[in-house]
Amino acid sequence: LAKLEGGHSAYVFTSGMAAIDAVFRLLRPGDHVVLSEAVYGGVFRIATQLLVHFGLEFSFVDTSSPELVLAAMRANTRMLYIETPTNPTLRITDIAAMAKLATERNALLVVDNTFLSPYLQNPIALGAHIVVHSMTKYLNGHSDSTGGCVVLTRPEDAEKIYFIQRSAGAGLAPMDCFLVSRGIKTLAVRMLQHNANGIAVARHLDAHAKVRKVYYPGLPSHPQHDVARKQQRGPGAMLSFDLGSLEAARRFLNQVKICALAESLGGVESLISLPALMTHASMPKEVQERIGITDGLVRLSVGIEDLEDIIADLDQALLYV
């Protein structure tokens, strides 16, 4: 894992959230963190409902704007935590620009690289200090284990993460380690097909009359399309699209046959979800609306099935919208 991301060392945990929690434990009471506002619901929950009680301070901003990030930073800011692309609205953050801001202010830059995997993006090469993954997703690739990892560039941070992992009893079980190791062997071939299918499905949905909007960094209409092209080897296989209402989204989700309704992502099979009621249900409604999570927003993790089968399944389900 360390070699895949170009890091000094890596440690594996029982889940992606366990890995992220360990990274936040590098901080001390009174420290401030700037995070992507469109962050994964689990990260929003642990920050706003748990870690604040231990003296940490959090500011959620649109990290696709370096100006907004700079304005949010304080004298006690010790970490920038970004997802790029974000979950589920696929905003892109310029990693190199964030690395410059973090380094100038003696803060750690942490990048969640789950949505792209090391095959499509290497944040450390762009200046990140720490990379986290939910290994449950693309690194494992088969939806049959859970796990998370922290990849570090500095030996002093690695020593602390190792101590946290052992002290909290959060090390990954041997069988899960085996399953992720197996998945990594096919990472390249899987990501090539994921990426190709993702591009084709996004273009198809973007042209569909029933779809109001598609969120996908591979489309020229995406506001950070140029940033994505600069720092990613491909746009990936994660996309979201708006069907206009909760009723329309439910009708669609009830009709898909190949795409499975599930919160996870990154497996060989196509998975589909409704973020407002699933992955981001713990996020207040006003926050959801501010970051673009509407009731009709559907998230799709495009699998490596036959492309024609995926598109045919989406098309037949859209007939009910």
How do residues 189-219 score in pLDDT, each as one tens digit?
999 999 999 999 999 999 999 999 999 999 9
Going along the chain from its start, the domains and CATH numbers come out as: 2-184 (3.40.640.10), 187-318 (3.90.1150.10)
Q: Which pLDDT band, with edges at 50, 70 and 90, does 282 fall under? A: confident
Mean pLDDT over 121-150 rounds to 99
Mean pLDDT over 73-84 rounds to 98
The answer to whether residue 80 scores a pLDDT higher than 90 is: yes
Dist. CA 132–CA 143, nearest whole Å? 18
Mean pLDDT of the chain: 98
How do residues 243-266 score in pLDDT, each as one tens digit?
999 999 999 999 999 999 999 999
Q: Which pLDDT band, with edges at 50, 70 and 90, does 99 fall under? A: very high
Pairing of strands 9-13, 148-152: antiparallel
Dist. CA 219–CA 123, nearest whole Å? 22
The answer to whether residue 91 scores a pLDDT higher than 90 is: yes
Query: Hunting for tokens 């619901």 — which residue is that?
Result: 41
Provide the pLDDT for residue 119: 99
Q: Has this prediction a pTM greater than 0.85?
A: yes
Pairing of strands 297-301, 271-273: antiparallel
Query: Hunting for tokens 């590098």 — which residue is that?
Result: 26
